[in-house]
Amino acid sequence: MDYLLVFAHKKEAEAFFANMHFTKVHSLPLELYCHSNFLLFITGMGETQIKKKMAELITSLPLPPLIVNLGFSGSLEQTGTLQDLGNVHSIRSAVRYIDDENTEHIDLDLPETLDFPPKVCITVSDPIMGQEQKEDLFYEADLVDMELFPLAKIARENSCSIYSLKVISDLADGKTSLAEIRKAAPLLSERLWAAFKILISSL
């Protein structure tokens, strides 16, 4: 396998299942699927889950040389509006929030030809629930998620290239309900799929 596509939730990957016809890898007790030279892996949400599932995967098979993280993210932009929802960005740097005075950074791979605005994404342990939390993180990053940093760290530790595409699903202010994100998920997944095709053609 040449590519490992990593999603936190199956809803994020809906368009990929529809267009690439992945089949379940039944030989492993993981939510792992294959199609041609692609593996698609659903890890679940959060740093602990990413570490656990990736460790299980690594003990079962060699990691492909190229990892692509795809998923939904919240926008930390102070001037963000509802019109930003559905916009796709490539990620140039993953950040881990430790506390108000400490963060850790990992640079990601970024094709020069990719026509999506490069952003910084910060990984947090819990969902952002209000404007005050959002403002604190804005000074560190443009987007927020709960998975990218530990995945990027694992990729680098295993000498893998790592790319990431994130689609904005909410404004990271606690005002968008999970039900609203689930309702928008098919469209958001389609946006990721369209961006992914451009990414793969540029590599």
pLDDT digits (tens, 9 = 90+) for 102-159: 789 999 998 776 778 899 999 988 776 666 666 667 678 899 999 999 999 999 999 9
Beta strands in 47-153 (DSSP E): 66-75, 88-99, 102-107, 118-123, 143-145
CATH classification of the domain holding 132: 3.40.50.1580
**Phi and psi at residue 113, to the nearest 5°:** -85, -5
Number of domains observed in the structure of the chain: 1
Q: What is the per-residue pLDDT for 99?
A: 76
Q: Which residues of the chain have pLDDT under 70?
A: 1, 78-82, 113, 128-136, 138, 174
Q: Going by C-beta distance under 8 Å and a sequence separation of 6 or more, which residues neighbour residue 91?
A: 69, 108, 110, 118, 119, 120, 121, 143, 148, 163, 164, 165, 166
**For residue 171, what are the domain limits?**
3-202
**Furthest C-alpha separation in the chain:** 48
What does each C-alpha distance from 96 to 13, 51, 148, 197 come to in angstroms? 24, 14, 9, 28
Q: Are the C-beta atoms of 86 and 187 separated by less than 8 Å?
A: yes
DSSP 141-197: -SEEESSHHHHHHHHHHTT-EEEEEEEEEE-SSS-S-HHHHHHHHHHHHHHHHHHHH
Straight-line distance from the first to the last Cα atom of the chain, in angstroms, rounded to the nearest whole number: 16
Q: What is the per-residue pLDDT for 72?
A: 96
Instruction: Name the one residue in this structure whose structure tokens are 């299942």.
Output: 17
Q: What is the per-residue pLDDT for 82?
A: 65
Q: What is the per-residue pLDDT for 196?
A: 95
**Rounded to an integer, what distance in angstroms lies between the CA atom of residue 141 and that of residue 158?**
25
pTM of the predicted model as reported, rounded to 2 decimal places: 0.92
